[in-house]
Structure 1
Amino acid sequence: MKNKAIVLGTNYYIALSTIRCLGINGVPVVAIDYSNKDTYAAKSKYLSERLISPHYKNDTKGFIQFLIDYAKKQDCPPVLIPCHDLQVEVIDEHLEELKKYFLIPQTEPGLYTKLMDKGSLHKIAKEMGVAVPETVRVDEENFLEKVENILKYPCIVKPVDSPSFVAQFRRKLFKVHNREELEDALSRAKSAGLEVIVQRIIPGFDDHMYTFDAYLNQEGKVTHWSTCQKYRQFPINFGASVYTGHKYVPELYEIGARFFEELKYKGFAEIEFKKDAETGQFYLIEVNARITNFNNLLYKLGLNMPYITYRELTGSPLEPKSFKEDINLVFWYAYEDLLAIRDYIKTGQLTLGEVLKSLLKPKAYAIWDWKDPMPALAFSKIILDKVFRKIFKTKD
């Protein structure tokens, strides 16, 4: 294969799964990161080349120039695949410039950012008739009264720019139970220079979270898709997937395919939904415009999203594919799931028996692979180093 695939970031299992999905099919994979620290995905045997670049946020100009300089040296334009939201934002900002040298599925500058931005996403969804949680903006008239009368406590203070919020607070949102907690959360966000909105919490345990994962071709049509159900998240209740299974939900296809196709979206994307435990209605929670956390689950199902992207952009698209029946397979990120299980049991949301029963399902692992063990060994060393540092710090 003449075109290389550039995978951005090597310190997270999304990148690891992406590297494997491409490399196992003979694609020459180049990993680019700004550091060697904790980059366990770079240990994969499926990696052809590894490069260190300027930081994509701290030195965006240098990062973009680094990418362009590398692409100019290649015989064929590489396929560019970001694995982190902040990388997606940077690529979106420089999309027109980068598309001169790279193969990138999206053609509309700014669309990635519009969908990742919670404020603009909320507006787009409402205009398209897609249900979203009731929301109050901080600058609205009678703000506090609307929160108390329309949303009611507890509610959530949610960032407009999620990646920046997570980088600052190491969490996706603030859950507040009264006016005092609300005002404190708003003050913390304001001090950090981050815009937030306040939303109603849709009732239902974490297993009421669902996803629609899809690839849209260059005509903006869904060609590959699946629906999944989350079982556990970390942090619990408002976190990322750590135990998620395939679940066929045709209603999510009807909502999700129309949503993306009307936007003329191209490439891979995921919508996270929550099903209201009281009404059964699905609410759009957020959109991920990059490879999903449980990409290895999709791969094991037969939906190799990175390779689907690569094949279409290099002129040999794969046949459309989807699954219209439940498949007994789950994604498992064991390290964070164990932390989640601890918290679910501690808060009385799950019992040990329920957890043990769920673990009997066949699994697609986040990191471990018998055929490619070195990343898991490198990750284990990272975790052990953290544990030792914590122990010695406590003793001191």
Structure 2
Amino acid sequence: MIQQPYVIVLANGLNGLGAVRSAAHAGLRTYTLLTSETDLSAYSRYSQYRFMLPPAPGIDDIRPVLDQLYRNEGGPGVLLACSDHAAELLGKLKSEGYSHHYLIVPSAETTELLNDKKLECRSMEEGGITLPRTYYELEHVVPEEFPLIIKPRTFREYSVLGAKNVIVNSISELNEFRQRFQGKLDRFIAQQVIEGNDENLWVCNVTFDKNKNLAACFIFNRLGTMPSHYGVTSLAISRENHVLRQECEKIGKAINYSGPAMIEFKKDEGSGRYYYIETNPRLGMCNWFDTLCGVNNILACSNVAYDKPALIEQQKNNRVYWNFFGDLIARLEDRERLVSIVGRYLRLIRYRRVAALLYWRDPHPALRYSYTAIVDIASRVAQRVRKYRRN
């Protein structure tokens, strides 16, 4: 009897919800591993088979669940990571030679390299990838130009910084940062901010096969982020870009990569050059967008694992990804004028849209998220009204 393919999603937020929906869209049976009962995937009708893990699970937490699934199914499934922590876990399992499930993921060394900005950027420079000017030692460096974006080296340093990144606009601001984080500066790197607004940001959600070749590639152009300018995607449009497709192929070979990844670039407004920003060694946050534009990276991972032919499909362009509440909140926080926001949204109505959360066959996650977002927006609008009245 031929074993039916199935996937095991280590879910986290929008990434996990998209993966669960994409697996269902491809007709794949899905097991969902969660670290929170309020995770978006917990509310999805497609997460019928769920397992709860501790908030920051280790190998010993995940292994019994995986072994049980292997026995129940009589064969291996495909493990999919939706967070940096989950990607590290799968990398460690691969290094240990774990064989009960398919691990179409990079090695632990590659994952650790990509989860450390200092090691990642140096490796990309050695591989001939074009990066913004990067500063690895912050203690005494005198940058040639500002602004700079300061990034934690790993996701563990987010709590040290209190944010995913910080922008400094002058040497005095840099010196203030040095003083504030004295003794901890080796936990950060700094990069030149490439000229251009959110519409110069590009993302490639890809899957590399066991031979490090592209099995799937979906490309979109960001139109908005949350928080604005330096956050995750809140508004985007699908667009083919052959230059970036070639760059992704080069990156896969340079770092000996297999499995799903999210690769980010920024186009310099002045020169028109594309600069590498980062690679996340896991499924991209917008993987549901990929699927509804014809490129299902979850199915691609399954096909690679089960040695099925790659189904490289032409992506559907000029479709808009829209996290309405997230994008609106980000623009309000950035003090964009309401007239400008409304005008922007009206111009997008002519395109076919893919909602980040709302899906009529699976409405519960969107309802939960929307309630929280509406309360947040109402609070911000009330604050603006009170401030306006005082002035």
Normalised by the length of structure 1, the TM-score is 0.86
| 8 Å Cα contact 2:53/2:62 also seen in 1 | no
Q: Distance in 2 between matches of 1:65 and 1:224?
A: 29
Q: Distance in 2 between matches of 1:390 and 1:341?
A: 11
Matches within 5 A, 1:1-396: 2-10=4-12, 12-36=13-37, 38-56=38-56, 59-74=57-72, 75-97=74-96, 99-106=98-105, 108-138=107-137, 142-143=140-141, 146-147=142-143, 150=144, 152-161=145-154, 163-169=155-161, 171-189=163-181, 195-323=187-315, 327-346=317-336, 352-383=342-373
Instruction: Give the partner amino acid of 2:17.
Output: L
Alpha-carbon offset, residue 30 of structure 1 = 1.1
Alpha-carbon offset, residue 170 of structure 1 = 5.1
Counterparts in 2 of 1:89 and 1:156: CA distance versus 1, 3 Å: same
Q: Distance in 1 between matches of 2:91 and 2:352?
A: 37
Alpha-carbon offset, residue 169 of structure 1 = 4.5
Q: Distance in 2 between matches of 1:347 and 1:191?
A: 41
| Equivalent position SS for 1:207 | helix
- Unaligned 5+ segments in structure 2 are 382-391
| 8 Å Cα contact 1:189/1:195 also seen in 2 | no
> Identity of counterpart residues, as a percentage?
21
Q: Distance in 1 between matches of 2:192 and 2:204?
A: 22
Alpha-carbon offset, residue 3 of structure 1 = 4.1
| Equivalent position SS for 1:93 | helix
| 8 Å Cα contact 2:76/2:100 also seen in 1 | yes
Alpha-carbon offset, residue 368 of structure 1 = 0.6
Deviations 1:121-165 (A, max 9, x none): 21121112211011122257x41xx22xx1x2321211111x223
Instruction: Give the partner amino acid of 1:222.
Output: L
Q: Distance in 1 between matches of 2:124 and 2:106?
A: 21
Counterparts in 2 of 1:360 and 1:188: CA distance versus 1, 3 Å: farther
Alpha-carbon offset, residue 221 of structure 1 = 0.9
Measured on the aligned residues, the alpha-carbon RMSD in Å equals 2.8
Alpha-carbon offset, residue 211 of structure 1 = 1.9
Deviations 1:258-291 (A, max 9, x none): 2213433111212211111111111101112111
Counterparts in 2 of 1:110 and 1:294: CA distance versus 1, 3 Å: same
| 8 Å Cα contact 2:157/2:187 also seen in 1 | no
Q: Distance in 2 between matches of 1:165 and 1:189?
A: 12
| Equivalent position SS for 1:330 | strand
Counterparts in 2 of 1:98 and 1:363: CA distance versus 1, 3 Å: farther
| Equivalent position SS for 2:210 | coil
Counterparts in 2 of 1:99 and 1:189: CA distance versus 1, 3 Å: farther
Alpha-carbon offset, residue 174 of structure 1 = 0.6
Deviations 1:290-320 (A, max 9, x none): 1112212211111111111112212323422
| 8 Å Cα contact 1:156/1:174 also seen in 2 | yes
Normalised by the length of structure 2, the TM-score is 0.87
| 8 Å Cα contact 1:345/1:352 also seen in 2 | no
Q: Distance in 2 between matches of 1:117 and 1:22?
A: 30
Q: Distance in 2 between matches of 1:68 and 1:134?
A: 43
| 8 Å Cα contact 2:202/2:222 also seen in 1 | yes
| 8 Å Cα contact 1:244/1:294 also seen in 2 | no
| 8 Å Cα contact 1:344/1:350 also seen in 2 | no
Q: Distance in 2 between matches of 1:174 and 1:290?
A: 24
Counterparts in 2 of 1:22 and 1:8: CA distance versus 1, 3 Å: same
Q: Distance in 2 between matches of 1:72 and 1:248?
A: 39
Deviations 1:34-59 (A, max 9, x none): 231x2232222222301112333xx5
Deviations 1:178-237 (A, max 9, x none): 233223334555577871012111111110111223221112111221321111011111
| 8 Å Cα contact 1:308/1:317 also seen in 2 | no
Give the aligned length. Answer: 378
| 8 Å Cα contact 2:138/2:188 also seen in 1 | no
Instruction: Give the partner amino acid of 2:91.
Output: D
- Unaligned 5+ segments in structure 1 are 392-396
Counterparts in 2 of 1:313 and 1:190: CA distance versus 1, 3 Å: farther
| Equivalent position SS for 1:110 | helix
| 8 Å Cα contact 1:7/1:18 also seen in 2 | yes
Instruction: Give the partner amino acid of 2:124.
Output: A
Instruction: Give the partner amino acid of 1:184.
Output: E
